[in-house]
C-alpha cells in the first residue's frame, strides 16, 4: 500500500505534467478556468505537419551536434580515463578535480571568452565550433563514467588476452572496449542529454546559423500559445526517448550475440 502511494506520487510528479501537455496540444482552446480539455482540435498538430521541413532541420541539427559531442568526448576521454583509473602518479586526484571542473563552474565564463577566440579564428557560427564548446562543457560526465568503468572492470582480462598473444588492437577492440560499453552508454547518454537540451551555449557560439531544436523551441515556449509549446515539448521528449530505447535494444542484442548476459 505504502509503495503504491509512493509510486502514485512519482506518477503525479513526473508523468502527469506530460499528460497535461498532451491536453494542451490537442485542445488549443483549453484555458482557465476549465479543469479539463473538452474538445479536440488538430490546429497544433497540423502546424507540426506543415512545419515538418524546418522542424526536422532543427531536430536533425541538434541530433547531429549532440551525437558528435558524444563521439568527441569519447575520443577525448578514453585513453586519459584509463590512465587516471589505473596508473598511480602524484597529484592524480588534483588533476582529476581540475579536469572535472568544466561541468561545475558556470559555462558562460569560458564560453564567452571562447566566443571571442572563435570569432577571430572563424569557428563562431559554425557546426564544429558548437560541437567543440558543447563537448568542452559535457566531457566530465564521460570522463567520470569511463574512469568508474575502468576501475570496475580491472585489467585482468586484458592481461590474460596479452598472455595468450593478442595484439594491442585486438585487446582494445575485442576485450577492453566491449567491457566498457555499459560505462560508455551511461556517460554518452548524459553527454547527449546535456548537449541536446543546451540552449545558451549553442545560441552563443552557433549564433542562429547552426540549427538547434532548443533554439527553435524557445520563442514558442515564451509566446502565449501554450498549445504549440506543448506539442513541440512532447516532440522533444519523444525523440531522445526513442533513441534510448533503440540503443538499449541494439546493445542488448549485441551482448546476447557475444554470449554475454546484461
Partner 1 sequence: MKTQTLFLHLSPLLIPYVSLFCAGVVLAAVQSVGLWSPVPLPSGLGAAYTRLWSSPWFYEMFGFSLYVAFVSALLATGGGTLLACGIWGMPALLRRMSVIYKATLILPHIAIGFIVLVFCSQTGVLASLARLVGMITLPVQFPNILYGGNGFGLILAYTYKEIPFAILMVLGLLAGFDRRLFDCARMLGASRVRIFFCILVPSIAPAMHSAFIILFLYAFGAFDIPYLLGESKPAMLSIEVYNLYFKRDLTNRPLALAMLMLMFCFSVLFIMIYSRVVSSLTARERKL
Helix %, strand %, coil % of the chain (to 5): 80, 0, 20
153 sits near partner 1 (criterion: CB under 8 A):
no
Residue from 110, 128, 166, 247 binding partner 1 (CB under 8 A): 110
Q: Applying CB under 8 A, does 44 fall inside the site for partner 1? A: no
Of 11, 152, 159, 209, the residue at the interface with partner 1 (CB under 8 A) is 11
Residues that bind partner 1 (rule: CB under 8 A) add up to a total of: 74
Q: Is 48 near partner 1 (CB under 8 A)?
A: no
In sequence order, the 6+-apart residues with CB closer than 8 A to the CB of 66 are 134, 191, 192, 195, 196
Binds partner 1 by CB under 8 A, chosen from 47, 65, 78, 150: 78
For the record, the C-alpha cell of 166 comes out as 593478442
Which residues, numbered 231-260, are part of the site for partner 1 (CB under 8 A)?
A: 233, 236-237, 240-241
Provide the minimum distance between the beta carbon of 102 and partner 1 in the complex, in angstroms, as a whole number.
5
- Tell me the C-alpha distance between 17 and 259, whole Å: 41
Near partner 1 by CB under 8 A, which window of 2-10, 39-47, 149-157, 167-175?
2-10
Q: Check binding of 136 to partner 1 (CB under 8 A).
A: yes
For 200-240, give the DSSP string: HHHHHHHTTTS--HHHHHHHHHHSS-HHHHHHHHHHHHHHH
* Residues numbered 190-219 forming contacts with partner 1, rule: CB under 8 A: 193, 196-200, 214, 217-218
The answer to whether residue 85 forms part of the interface with partner 1 (CB under 8 A) is: no
14 CB neighbour count, 10 Å cutoff: 9
Kindly tell me the sign of the dihedral angle through the C-alpha atoms of 237, 239, 240, 246.
Answer: positive
By CB under 8 A, is residue 226 in contact with partner 1?
Answer: yes
The single residue among 107, 149, 188, 211 that binds partner 1, judged by CB under 8 A, is 107
- Decide if residue 37 touches partner 1 (CB under 8 A): no
* Integer CA distances (angstroms), 45 to 31, 42, 49, 214, 242, in order: 18, 5, 7, 19, 19
Shortest reach from residue 14's CB to partner 1, in Å: 5
DSSP designation for 164: T
Asked if residue 70 lies in contact with residue 141, where contact means CB atoms within 8 angstroms, the answer is: no
Stretch that binds partner 1, among 47-55, 130-138, 154-162, 177-185 (CB under 8 A): 130-138
CB nearer to partner 1: give 42 or 200.
200
Amino acid at each position: 500500500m505504502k509503495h503504491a502511494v509512493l509510486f502514485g506520487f512519482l506518477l503525479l510528479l513526473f508523468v502527469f505534467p506530460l499528460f497535461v501537455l498532451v491536453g494542451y496540444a490537442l485542445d488549443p482552446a483549453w484555458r482557465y478556468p476549465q479543469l479539463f480539455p473538452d474538445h479536440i482540435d488538430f490546429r497544433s498538430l497540423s502546424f507540426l505537419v506543415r512545419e515538418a521541413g524546418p522542424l526536422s532541420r532543427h531536430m536533425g541539427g541538434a541530433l547531429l551536434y549532440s551525437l558528435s559531442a558524444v563521439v568527441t568526448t569519447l575520443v577525448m576521454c578514453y585513453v586519459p580515463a584509463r590512465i587516471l583509473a589505473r596508473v598511480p602518479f602524484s597529484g592524480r586526484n588534483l588533476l582529476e578535480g581540475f579536469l572535472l571542473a568544466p561541468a561545475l563552474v558556470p559555462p558562460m565564463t569560458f564560453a564567452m571568452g571562447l566566443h571571442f577566440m572563435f570569432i577571430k579564428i572563424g569557428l563562431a557560427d559554425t557546426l564544429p565550433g558548437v560541437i567543440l564548446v558543447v563537448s568542452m562543457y559535457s566531457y566530465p560526465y564521460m570522463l567520470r563514467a569511463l574512469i568508474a568503468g575502468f576501475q570496475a572492470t580491472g585489467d585482468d582480462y586484458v592481461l590474460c588476452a596479452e598472455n595468450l598473444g593478442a595484439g594491442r588492437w585486438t585487446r582494445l577492440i575485442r576485450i577492453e572496449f566491449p567491457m566498457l560499453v555499459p560505462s560508455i552508454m551511461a556517460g554518452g547518454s548524459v553527454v547527449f542529454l546535456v548537449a541536446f537540451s543546451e540552449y545558451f551555449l549553442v545560441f552563443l557560439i552557433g549564433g542562429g546559423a547552426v540549427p538547434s531544436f532548443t533554439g527553435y523551441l524557445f520563442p514558442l515556449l515564451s509566446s502565449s500559445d501554450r498549445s504549440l509549446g506543448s506539442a513541440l515539448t512532447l516532440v522533444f521528449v519523444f525523440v531522445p526517448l526513442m533513441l534510448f530505447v533503440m540503443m538499449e535494444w541494439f546493445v542488448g542484442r549485441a551482448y546476447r550475440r557475444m554470449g554475454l548476459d546484461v
